[in-house]
Amino acid sequence: MKPKIGILGYGVIGKRLADAVILQDDMELVGVAGRSASFSLRDANLKGYKVFITDQPKPEDASQRLCTIDGTFEDLLINCDVLLDCTPKGIPNQYLDLYNSQKDLITIVQGGEKHNFGGTSFNSFANYNDSFGKKKIRVISCSSTGSTRFVYTLDKYFGLDHAFISLVRRGSDLIKSGSGLFNCLKPVLGQSHHAIDVNTVLPDLNLFSMAVQAPTTFSHVLNIQADLKKPVTAQEVIEVFENMPRVIVGEGMHSTAELMEYYMDMGRPRRDRPEIFLWKESVVVKDKTVYASINVHMESITIPETIDCVRAVCGLEENNWKSVYKTDLALNIQKHKECYKK
């Protein structure tokens, strides 16, 4: 029987997850929920999704004027096996008592929440099986997901002694650009949370990260120095990543703007790129040390991870590589099948 999926929050992540869920043949979207005044509910309704509201409506609210309302958030929860909470950080805890009152409900939150929300963080490659049977799970953040894919691959194939990750982070999401930075760079003073976040799914790796927030909305750039356990060549590193799912090895595009333009021209919905992009020209190897730059599209990178998380917690698929392939195929981001036979 297909698990029934509900989504709270129809914003940057929620709308992408709704579209991703309906593409899967082993899960079913029940509906999306949000504040009565939110215009995004109108957009959900126009796409044919059932709409539920989290608060007491007012006659002037967008949902009352422009939507067909199917009930309250509580009505949605009663009909769900899994809730994908896509609200901003801090909001899921406000609903914790409600979630706990639904004893069979599985709640998956995004990386803005702390690891201790449920004590389990998720990544498709690193710790897929750790989520079996859990009721509260967190999918790690966008930059952490990108970092994990990179360091996991190096560790899996070559062995990783230590990695330093330097992030240049976008100032805000595109639709929230009014709250972003202007004419300044804002460093995180000391270690950023990203290496700590990666260690929630890869606890044995020796990692350190620093970050700078920049006045751009496009995406994140991560510069990585990885010290391996044996000497390698740049070509060996490139070939490994060319055969790793959810990684694009590309060249000839030298800015985040060029990347965004390219994937828009290629017809990607919302110009999304759930894969990390590894600049081939950036890969430099000196004996055991790898230097490289990758790009992370923060709005879409955790979407396939969240779909895999649903499969893991519901026991729909025990093998993470099979789930990754199934998700990638549905989202049309699959690589050749040999990449998934790990």
DSSP reduced 3-state for 131: helix
Distances in whole angstroms, Cα of residue 22 to Cα of each of 15, 19, 31, 254: 11, 6, 11, 35
User: If you write DSSP's letter for every residue of 220-239 in order, what string do you get?
Assistant: EEEEEEEEESS---HHHHHH
Query: Active site includes 314?
Result: no
Rounded Cα–Cα distance for residues 19 and 4 (Å): 14
Q: How many CA atoms lie within 13 A of 238 on its CB side?
A: 13
Helix ranges (H only) for the chain are 12-21, 40-46, 62-66, 73-78, 91-94, 96-101, 142-158, 193-199, 234-242, 256-265, 302-314, 320-331
Beta bridge partners of 168: 212, 221
DSSP 3-state of 342:
coil
Q: How far is Cα 245 from Cα 320, in angstroms, rounded to an integer?
A: 12
CA distance 283 to 296: 16
Name the token pair of 268: 């990607």
Instruction: Decide: 224 and 164 in contact? Cβ < 8 Å.
Output: yes
Active-site annotation holder among 67, 80, 86, 142: 142
Question: What are the residue numbers of the active site?
Answer: 142
